[in-house]
Amino acid sequence: MRIYEIATGYTPVPAKMGAATEIVVEELVKAFEKIGEDVILVDIQNEDGNHGYKKVVEVQVPRKYRTTDVSLGLAHKLKRIVYSINLAMTLKKELKSINDTECVLHFHNQYNCFFFFLLTSKKLRKKVTIAYTNHSYIWQGDWSEIKGSIKKRYFQECYCLRHADKVFILNRSTANNIIEHVNVAKDKVYYIINGVNGDEYRPLTAEDKENIKTQMGVKGKRIYGQIGSVCERKNQLEAIKALTPILRMDENSIFCFAGGIISDDYFDKIMAYSEEKGIRNQVLYLGELEPGEKLNEIYNICEAMVFPSKQEAFGLVITEAAAAGTPTLISSTLEFETKPFCIRFTDEDDLLDKLKGFSASRETCRKEALSEYGWETVAGMYLQGFLE
């Protein structure tokens, strides 16, 4: 079987910024290569010309569409469309060259998949199995609250979900919503998880952690953290509000957060609140961090990650932190299964109680994460779904 792992075109793989879906594509390609599968990465043209994988098909786009737009505005949507059209043309050429090889086209983005359906013939599509993984966080919500947004912003995804041969979902609420309200056939829906790279995310020595703290100017501080795009959905302000009693009581406790700023207004609210409560010097914004070494350093110097996100398809940051040995406290709205490294809290008082102590050691956090969420395990789950 030949597997085409199709990157979204948002930023080239491997991602040099926090882009969860690109990280998934990158790790799946590496895992499939490692277990001996015939896998091809299909991705936007890389400026430095090096994706670093055995087999790559590059999608050519005009230079002005190769930059990464984190604002997710009109320019971002236009880039999605241009890339998706060129992607469809590239895949058509690939399919025409396929003879008897069993192939899977694995899509991860609604624009990419929708334009492929729109611009290719049914005859050509019959030559392959079309798989689609739904990474969209919105499907986790209650249907009565999300149906308006689905009809307005996710109509392409609805089409992809109905017409793909295999659909992979990351939480049970998504499965219920697409089966009950979008009429996706139940027998083609597969539950999947995301994994974690235990080589990139790993515990550091006590000496290394002290050196990192010294370089950051936070030596001797007790650090709580959050990783993710700065926006209302990720809910950094709620984390700060919950931690305010601790920060005001202990000036050696700090909260640090990192991620691209999606909403300037929301970022300003965070800073205004911190100023109002007298904890501005204990709330540190670290900017956008490249996945891997720098992100691993932050996971390591934190006592715990606080993640009150309102909606997530799957929280990669939870397993990344765990692989580094750091537990995460998550809000009750998220569906991530409670684990020794993943502790659920219900409100601010409960969060403060949970922060007083964790039953799991850093070694246990890492062991649990790697035993259940290795990328080779995830690749095997996908293979089983492809073959059924």
Q: Are 58 and 115 in the same domain?
A: yes
> Residue 112 domain-assigned?
yes
CATH number of the domain residue 300 falls in: 3.40.50.2000
How many distinct structural domains can be found in the chain? 2
Q: Are 173 and 240 in the same domain?
A: no
Please, what is the average pLDDT of the chain?
91
Q: How many CB atoms lie within 10 A of CB 233?
A: 15
Contacts of 302 (CB under 8 A, 6+ apart): 223, 224, 225, 256, 321, 326
Higher per-residue pLDDT: 14 or 42: 42
> Residue 238 domain-assigned?
yes
Q: Are 162 and 279 in the same domain?
A: no
> Residue 117 domain-assigned?
yes
Is the pLDDT at 67 greater than 70? The verdict is no
> Residue 308 domain-assigned?
yes
Structural domain boundaries enclosing 277:
206-372
User: Where does the pLDDT of residue 51 fall: very low under 50, low under 70, confident under 90, or very high at 90 and above?
Assistant: low
Rounded distance, CA 87 to CA 112, Å? 7
Q: Are 152 and 242 in the same domain?
A: no
Q: Are 129 and 237 in the same domain?
A: no
Q: How many CB atoms lie within 10 A of CB 121?
A: 9
Give residue 69's pLDDT.
54
> Residue 171 domain-assigned?
yes
Give residue 316's pLDDT.
87
Task: Fill in the DSSP letter of residue 196.
Answer: B
| Range 145-160 average pLDDT | 96
- Long-range pairs of 99-103 with CB within 8 A, sequence gap ≥ 24: 101/2, 102/1, 102/2, 102/129, 103/1, 103/2, 103/3, 103/4, 103/127, 103/128, 103/129
> Residue 201 domain-assigned?
no
pLDDT digits (tens, 9 = 90+) for 87-116: 999 999 999 988 878 999 999 999 999 999
Q: Are 226 and 138 in the same domain?
A: no
Q: Are 257 and 173 in the same domain?
A: no
| Range 156-168 average pLDDT | 98
Is the pLDDT at 117 greater than 70? The verdict is yes
Give residue 161's pLDDT.
98
User: Where does the pLDDT of residue 359 fall: very low under 50, low under 70, confident under 90, or very high at 90 and above?
Assistant: low
Specify the residue for token string 């397993």.
319
